[in-house]
């Protein structure tokens, strides 16, 4: 179950919003979506991922890492909190953070120096809602919904919301190709 988050809607901050809803029907398709997402990202981008345990957050990030051409296998950083994957293709490094075990907001995450890493990296934060919004007004928030309970259903409902001027005119529909 996802930890409760402090509300932070675009209406509260006056930020622009761009949104797309996508149906993903398999882990392979989730990885493909991550690879397409890599084509939209650049250094300085913050991506927040939320969803139930097993929803596909790390699978999406693995595809994103492949699309960015980073070094190392992208795996869940649950027990190490954060991993940095340098680019092998001359692009920005991928900083992959799992904030599940962190209870507070940005103050508790200060030791990770995300504010220092952000200008030069693509930062993906799983379970970041209510914890990292203060880093930037321009961010992507990706919510992955899956059927819960005893089910083998692989279908995911993914809502991608681009917040701020950086994402106002971005073609988020390209993620559903």
Question: Does pLDDT of 147 surpass 80?
Answer: no
DSSP-assigned letters across all residues of 73-117: -----TTTSEEEE-BSSSSPPEEEEE-TT--SSHHHHGGG-HHHH
In this structure, of 18-27, 35-44, 122-131, the range with the lowest mean pLDDT score is 122-131
Residue 76 is predicted with a pLDDT of 78
User: Which pLDDT band, with edges at 50, 70 and 90, does 150 fall under?
Assistant: low
**What distance in Å separates the CA atoms of residue 24 and residue 22, rounded to the nearest whole number?**
6
Q: 28 near 59, Cβ under 8 Å?
A: no
User: Which pLDDT band, with edges at 50, 70 and 90, does 162 fall under?
Assistant: very high
Residue 2 is predicted with a pLDDT of 40
Residue 151 is predicted with a pLDDT of 67
> What is the share, in percent, of the chain residues with pLDDT greater than 70?
76
Indicate yes or no: pTM above 0.75. Answer: yes
Residue 41: closest CA among 2, 96, 83: 96
Residue 8 is predicted with a pLDDT of 45
In this structure, of 9-18, 95-104, 147-156, the range with the lowest mean pLDDT score is 9-18
**What distance in Å separates the CA atoms of residue 19 and residue 114, rounded to the nearest whole number?**
25
Mean pLDDT (the chain, rounded): 83
Residue 132: closest CA among 96, 161, 105: 105
Residue 45 is predicted with a pLDDT of 95
90-139: pLDDT as tens digits: 999 999 988 876 665 555 555 555 665 778 899 999 988 888 888 889 99
Given the structure tokens 């797309």, which residue do they identify? 20
Would you call 7 helix, strand, or coil by DSSP?
coil
Residue 27: closest CA among 114, 138, 156: 156
Residue 44 is predicted with a pLDDT of 93
State residue 65 phi and psi, 5-degree precision: -60, -40
User: Which pLDDT band, with edges at 50, 70 and 90, does 5 fall under?
Assistant: very low
**What distance in Å separates the CA atoms of residue 91 and residue 44, rounded to the nearest whole number?**
12
């Amino acid at each position: 179950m996802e930890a409760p988050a402090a509300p932070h809607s675009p209406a509260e901050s006056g930020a622009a919003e761009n949104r797309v809803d996508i149906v993903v029907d398999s882990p392979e398709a989730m990885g493909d979506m991550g690879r397409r997402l890599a084509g939209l990202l650049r250094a300085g981008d913050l991506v927040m991922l939320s969803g139930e345990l097993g929803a596909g957050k790390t699978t999406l990030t693995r595809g994103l890492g492949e699309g960015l051409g980073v070094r190392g296998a992208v795996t869940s950083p649950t027990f190490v909190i954060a991993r940095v994957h340098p680019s092998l293709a001359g692009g920005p490094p991928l900083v992959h953070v799992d904030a599940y075990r962190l209870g507070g907001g940005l103050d508790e995450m200060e030791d990770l120096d995300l504010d220092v890493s952000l200008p030069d990296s693509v930062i993906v934060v799983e379970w970041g809602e209510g914890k990292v919004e203060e880093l930037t007004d321009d961010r992507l928030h990706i919510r992955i919904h899956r059927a819960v309970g005893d089910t083998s259903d692989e279908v995911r409902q993914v809502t991608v919301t681009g917040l701020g001027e950086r994402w106002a005119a971005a073609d988020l529909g390209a993620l559903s190709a």
